[in-house]
Structure 1
């Protein structure tokens, strides 16, 4: 009788230990996908990653759009005529000298708002309510501006920006369109999302 009690206790301990081990392993296996679900998805990781933009085929006067962090980024190869027209726009603009430093990096605080005069790299979001403006590159009268010198027009609420993304005075948009961090990798590639001289994270 005493021996049977010893056997039962041993069996009980074995079953208890086995159940605990199997239960613990099951909990660990079940927890893996749950914990993995906390990690950002590959899409989310790539959304914040820098974007390498090939500009080799962008002709003078042309705009190409790239996606960075879920935002449209216009890359415009500006013509000499467009650049020559920029100083004449100053009197019509809200912030002609780009004094709102939140709208561009220090290296783009110039009349072109860019590293190289001919290349505009700009987050194409109207600073009024976030619409994407249309590109009107030609220097010719437009229904919304008889003295148009090229630039961007927001169809949502009629805000206007010059060819450097500087906002006109008297329109709903309160600020220039933002310039993202970027740099030239070489003559035909721009890395959007990383300042010059910075390491890629």
Structure 2
């Protein structure tokens, strides 16, 4: 075979250009395919922790944050609210928080919290998933003279005290859930993380 009249430099240029364009085409197809293996921003956010600034939260108030698509309540309890927790223990279904998956070990105490004055709860009723109302007033006319403040689920009438413990004789089977959390400082809580 004769190579007379064939421009070898031109042939090398065409082969190199074709190979380079082919490599670019393969990369253009491979990059989106490989990126599809990474979790989406929505999936990353679903498990991400939430920073809760409680510096403006006054005693007796509740703030609502969202973690994993659920409302998380942070309540700054007054000394009176904390004292009233003992008064309702005889009316509760699980006063000692014996159902272990309802709170981390560090919240298995009378106040169900790390610091007695700060309560952190997932705001979802354990009956059918409604969101209970924050009813901190004592002896509310519609809840009875023995009401010491807490959470009332308007869907089916479940009641919880100001530690999220469920009252006996209501549809909710267990206490409200205490999510994992930790203090970054006195004014900032990280919801979804625990100290190692």
TM-score (norm 1): 0.84
Task: Give the Å deviation of 1:57.
Answer: 0.8
Query: 84-93 vs 108-117, which deviates more?
Result: 84-93
Which residue of the partner structure matches residue 133 of structure 2? 134
Which residue of the partner structure matches residue 174 of structure 1? 173
Task: Give the Å deviation of 1:73.
Answer: 0.7
Which residue of the partner structure matches residue 161 of structure 2? 162
Which residue of the partner structure matches residue 40 of structure 1? 39
Runs of 4+ in 1 over 3 A off after TM superposition: 14-25
Which residue of the partner structure matches residue 94 of structure 1? 93
* Alpha-carbon separation, structure 1, partners of 2:114 and 2:139: 27
Which residue of the partner structure matches residue 85 of structure 1? 84
**Within-5 A mapping of 1:68-83:** 68-83=67-82
* Alpha-carbon separation, structure 2, partners of 1:151 and 1:98: 16
Task: Give the Å deviation of 1:39.
Answer: 1.5
Which residue of the partner structure matches residue 61 of structure 1? 60
Task: Give the Å deviation of 1:46.
Answer: 3.0
Which residue of the partner structure matches residue 190 of structure 2? 191
In structure 1, the gaps of 5 or more residues are none
Query: 41-50 vs 159-168, which deviates more?
Result: 41-50
Task: Give the Å deviation of 1:131.
Answer: 1.4
* Alpha-carbon separation, structure 2, partners of 1:111 and 1:54: 24
**Within-5 A mapping of 1:20-31:** 22-31=21-30
TM-score (norm 2): 0.86
Which residue of the partner structure matches residue 147 of structure 2? 148
In structure 2, the gaps of 5 or more residues are none
Task: Give the Å deviation of 1:41.
Answer: 2.5
Q: How many equivalent residue pairs?
A: 195
RMSD: 2.6
* Alpha-carbon separation, structure 1, partners of 2:157 and 2:100: 24
* Alpha-carbon separation, structure 2, partners of 1:93 and 1:158: 15
Which residue of the partner structure matches residue 112 of structure 2? 113
Is the 8 Å Cα contact of residues 151 and 165 (structure 1) preserved in structure 2?
yes
